[in-house]
Structure 1
Amino acid sequence: MAYTGSYQTQVFAAGGSPFPFTPKGLEEAARRDMPREHFDYIAGGAGRERTVAANEAAFGRWGLTYRVLRDGAPADPSRTVLGTPMSMPVMLAPAGVAELAHPEAEAAAARAAERVGAVQVLSAVTSTPLEDVAEAAPNGQRWFQFAWPDDEKLARSLIERAEAAGYTAIVVMGDCHVAGWRTRELSSGFFPFQHAHGLGNYVSDRRFWELAGFGSVPDGLTPEMVAAAAETWNRVFTKPALQPEDLALLRSWTSLPIVVKGVCRPDEATRLCAEGVDGLIVSNHGGRQLDAGVAALDCLPPVAAAVGGRVPVLFDSGVRTGTDALIALALGADAVMIGRPWLYGLAVGGQAGVEHVLRSLREEFTGALALTGHRTCASLSEADVRAVPPTEKGMTA
């Protein structure tokens, strides 16, 4: 049993880590380090947050089957999805307004992802303009989340900018066309976009300022400009009527792969495949949009079955550990994404905190991959998991 070169070895050699290793410990550390309204914006979900709880609880209904007497050769957790290589099948989800966690925001996360070999999926509502994020980690792998604006010129501008900056896939945000009923935000009275937080991609765009009544991108924001930016963004952020057949228009704007995020139904997965998408993401927006929703993990197997291997299927919503990622891959995902965990890591340690989260996930995932009898992710299947009866929950040896 060799730890040589592992993240565990580094931690032991250093006599420990300044950052927590458990999901709950990381969340509590972020809670302590962040202003209450900022933490509640990131951690909160819709309504009574039953969907948030369901997402995490769903992983507890599956158990991994352990295999013995194997050759012991190191497992390789790397994957390539839509031509994008990654050191492990765990990506940074497009979680927005990262400046609420740390001043260096998405740029710090980009540097962390580059160092670990993870893919960053940049949110539409970033604190840092997409070009600056790319410059912060020029050798990193990046996809761009596209919230389709209700203005074609702005929509095309965002796509053209992402392509020019080296993003290698477009992720269409399909699960946020109506604002969720987010009780924590309502209770605090804090809406970040009202203060121009998270509008980095917009306030750096000439077309956006034309819509706001200004002729060019300003060097700085006056209170009048902040108010105009917030009003304009709220008015044009998403196109109210967006249909699967509209993806043909997007295809005419870009040669990049197109992935649709927010798919939870097999019939919609089938329709989107027929419309020629290059990939799907099973997600319920981390429980931030619809309360009392079905756990995203429960939606994964039927969606994967409907897709039938025609396009990659990715997954997010509720992934907290390396074994969570392994369960999702066994149930049909090609890779997973994490949202709140990387923001918590950012809050407690900036770039180093995000690196800690990613290295911990990679280490746990790689070990679990080997312990379940696999050398690579490609051989994972439903044979590696079984449903855990309710009587077995919480049992310990």
Structure 2
Amino acid sequence: MKKKLESIPATLVSVQDYESLFADFIPHPVYEYIAGGSADDISLKNNRNAFDSILLNRRVLADFSAASTRTEVLGKTVKYPIMLAPVAHQKLVHPKGEIATAEAANVLDLGFIGSTLSSVPMEDVADALQGEKWFQLYFQESRDATLSLIQRAENAGYSAIVVTVDAAINGLRNRVQRAGFTLPAGMEANLVNYQCPPLKSIEADQSIILNGIMRDSPTWRDIQWIQSQTSLPVILKGITNCEDAKIAKELGVAGIVVSNHGGRTLDSVPAAIDVLADIRATVGDDLTLLFDSGIRRGSDIFKALALGADSVLIGRPQLYGLSIAGALGVAHILKLLIEEFEVTMALMGCATIDQITQDTLYSKQSI
């Protein structure tokens, strides 16, 4: 296993370059935990393939005298339509974990979403952040524990609650199983003071999964309960179905993250980018829509915005940079993505974010 880099080699010029190297800097079981999807990795692979199949419809000789990457997300002006997605257990790849990633977010002035499964307490992560910070919430076994996490996030200064809704149980992480990965102690710093309730009893002929684990899994009523418990905006992460998007909007959530969890929960669901435009059409223009799953190039960011996203979330690439070069690596990856996005805007003839529409995507009818 290689030692963390203290400077960035000139050969690292894209996220793909980092992705091809990061296995050398972490133990193999950890690599499989991070890189793997669910079951046969169909959705994981499709997330990338779908992006690659989207072509751009460029224009030339555009006026860039008032160019800007600024836009609004949840009513606030941001420098770039990019945030750091909630990524769990970051001390698996670097001793500073989420603190190092927060330092990188500060350098690039990007928003940060802290995970319930952070390996650093949410309060310490919040103290390290200078910009916009949201808290990603996993429902806990008891409402008291869930409410405690929400209240801690409020007290720490997080400005939104992002509820993950597509992972009531873990997906079939076969690559993780084959590699023999187990989570080391101390990787869930936010949950150390919460006791797990006793296992639910089931009848002998019942399913442990369907009648046990899923019996008290969250429903739309629990989303309404969260809304009643906090004044912070509530965003739902993990929506890929238009009917679910419609219900979410009817309940008055502040936003939706279109995501298939990076292909890590249910395999064979569509690539998240393939459902984005339909979900935007379903919820209309007035609901904040974010996108997650598969971003690896600045042109991917452009494509997601063209299909209806207000901003995108960067997930696994955080860990690529963190594992290789700590905060410096994360900052470099984010800088690369921003520069690629700006190059794409320039070559597409889009001087501002509002010019990035579906008309900028190629189809036979658009030429």
Is the TM value for this pair above 0.5?
yes
- For 2:236, the equivalent position in structure 1 comes to 260
- The match for 1:52 among 29, 44, 48 is 44
- The match for 1:136 among 105, 108, 128 is 128
Deviations 1:178-214, CA, capped at 9 Å, x for gaps: 210011110112121xx334311111x4xx15x589x
The 8 Å contact of residues 114 and 141 in structure 1, kept in 2 or not, is answered as no
CA RMSD of aligned residues (A): 2.2
- For 1:152, the equivalent position in structure 2 comes to 143
Structure 1 residue 68 corresponds to structure 2 residue 44: no
Q: In structure 1, what is the Cα distance between the partners aligned to 2:280 and 2:146? A: 30
Structure 1 residue 354 corresponds to structure 2 residue 343: no
Structure 1 residue 374 corresponds to structure 2 residue 350: yes
Paired AA for residue 156 in structure 2: A
Secondary structure of the structure 2 residue equivalent to 1:64: coil
Deviations 1:260-312, CA, capped at 9 Å, x for gaps: 01110111101110011110011000001112221111110111100111311
- The match for 1:188 among 160, 173, 179 is 179
Q: In structure 2, what is the Cα distance between the partners aligned to 1:126 and 1:263? A: 22
Q: In structure 2, what is the Cα distance between the partners aligned to 1:109 and 1:346? A: 7
- The match for 2:188 among 178, 194, 199 is 199
The 8 Å contact of residues 74 and 370 in structure 1, kept in 2 or not, is answered as no
Number of corresponding residues = 346
Provide the TM-score with structure 1 as the length reference. Answer: 0.83
Distance 1:72 1:81, change over 3 A: closer
- The match for 1:110 among 102, 105, 119 is 102
Deviation at 1:18, TM superposition (A): 5.3
Structure 1 residue 298 corresponds to structure 2 residue 287: no
- For 1:174, the equivalent position in structure 2 comes to 165
- The match for 1:162 among 153, 157, 172 is 153
Paired AA for residue 359 in structure 2: A
Structure 1 residue 337 corresponds to structure 2 residue 313: yes
Secondary structure of the structure 2 residue equivalent to 1:247: helix
The 8 Å contact of residues 41 and 184 in structure 1, kept in 2 or not, is answered as yes
- The match for 2:35 among 31, 43, 46 is 43
Paired AA for residue 299 in structure 1: V
Paired AA for residue 181 in structure 1: L
- For 2:84, the equivalent position in structure 1 comes to 92
Structure 1 residue 32 corresponds to structure 2 residue 24: yes
Deviations 1:98-149, CA, capped at 9 Å, x for gaps: 1112111111111110110111111111100100101122x22111100011
- For 1:318, the equivalent position in structure 2 comes to 294
Paired AA for residue 118 in structure 1: L
Deviation at 1:73, TM superposition (A): 3.1
Deviations 1:313-347, CA, capped at 9 Å, x for gaps: 11111111100000010001111111111110111
Deviation at 1:88, TM superposition (A): 1.1
Q: In structure 2, what is the Cα distance between the partners aligned to 1:77 and 1:166? A: 26
The 8 Å contact of residues 331 and 381 in structure 1, kept in 2 or not, is answered as yes
Q: In structure 2, what is the Cα distance between the partners aligned to 1:67 and 1:152? A: 53
Question: What aligned pairs does 1:222-237 form with structure 2 within 5 A after superposition?
Answer: none
The 8 Å contact of residues 16 and 296 in structure 2, kept in 1 or not, is answered as no
Q: In structure 1, what is the Cα distance between the partners aligned to 2:106 and 2:253? A: 27
Distance 1:258 1:322, change over 3 A: same
Q: In structure 2, what is the Cα distance between the partners aligned to 1:238 and 1:201? A: 23
Q: In structure 2, what is the Cα distance between the partners aligned to 1:196 and 1:348? A: 23
Distance 1:371 1:181, change over 3 A: same
> Which stretch has the larger CA shift, 49-58 or 64-73?
64-73
Q: In structure 2, what is the Cα distance between the partners aligned to 1:26 and 1:238? A: 38
Q: In structure 1, what is the Cα distance between the partners aligned to 2:213 and 2:92? A: 20
Paired AA for residue 167 in structure 1: Y
Task: Name the % identity.
Answer: 38
Distance 1:246 1:286, change over 3 A: same
Structure 1, unpaired ranges of 5+: 1-14, 214-235, 390-397
Distance 1:97 1:356, change over 3 A: same
The 8 Å contact of residues 148 and 237 in structure 1, kept in 2 or not, is answered as no
The 8 Å contact of residues 81 and 311 in structure 2, kept in 1 or not, is answered as yes
Deviations 1:25-82, CA, capped at 9 Å, x for gaps: 1112211111111111111111111111100000111111222112343632122211
- The match for 1:385 among 356, 361, 364 is 361
The 8 Å contact of residues 58 and 295 in structure 1, kept in 2 or not, is answered as yes
Paired AA for residue 125 in structure 1: L
Distance 1:84 1:149, change over 3 A: farther
Secondary structure of the structure 2 residue equivalent to 1:113: helix
Q: In structure 1, what is the Cα distance between the partners aligned to 2:49 and 2:216? A: 33
Q: In structure 2, what is the Cα distance between the partners aligned to 1:161 and 1:83? A: 24
Secondary structure of the structure 1 residue equivalent to 2:301: helix
